[in-house]
């Protein structure tokens, strides 16, 4: 746990530095085998890209170095990961996440994603964002073609 505290403190430092530079209070450190692979901060204020969360940027940079799978990696984040970031962590195989502040702590500052988590827990038909399924049968053939090209030998 001592190493967890060390890396988490670094994520918090990155968040503080980002606020001092005009950004949002989010930093992330991605570690594998006790080695920092990448550090990142939220850059929405620079890029105007709403997906430019510290965790997403850390994942993108780490994947450039290590490949699409981040098995064995730990992400240390200054804030509780949002659903997008958490989904990306699942998709790339991050092994563990450690974070410094909860959605409840961020709520008074407008920094909670709890409402998004609540929406995503509902069936698609009950969510506020209309999501419509419109079948395209050819997609099954396209999936089949992809699978045939990507069968492990």
| Catalytic positions | 55
Task: Name every residue whose Cβ is closer than 8 Å to that of residue 102 and which is 6 or more positions away in sequence.
Answer: 80
Distance (Å, whole) CA 81 – CA 87 = 9
- Phi first, then psi: give them for residue 38, nearest 5 degrees: -160, 150
- Phi first, then psi: give them for residue 56, nearest 5 degrees: -65, -45
């Amino acid at each position: 746990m001592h190493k967890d505290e060390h890396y988490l403190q670094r994520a918090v430092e990155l968040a503080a530095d980002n606020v001092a530079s005009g950004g949002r209070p989010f930093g992330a450190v991605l570690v594998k085998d006790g080695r920092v692979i990448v550090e990142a901060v939220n850059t929405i204020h620079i890029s105007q890209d709403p997906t430019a969360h510290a965790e997403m940027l850390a994942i993108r940079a780490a994947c450039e170095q290590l490949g699409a799978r981040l098995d064995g990696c730990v992400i240390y984040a200054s804030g509780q990961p949002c659903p997008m970031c958490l989904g990306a962590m699942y998709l790339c195989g991050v092994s563990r996440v450690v974070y410094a502040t909860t959605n409840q702590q961020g709520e008074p500052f407008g920094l909670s994603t709890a409402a998004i988590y609540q929406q995503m827990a509902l069936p698609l038909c009950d969510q506020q964002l209309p999501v419509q399924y419109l079948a395209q049968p050819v997609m099954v053939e396209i999936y089949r073609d992809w699978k045939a090209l990507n069968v492990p030998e």
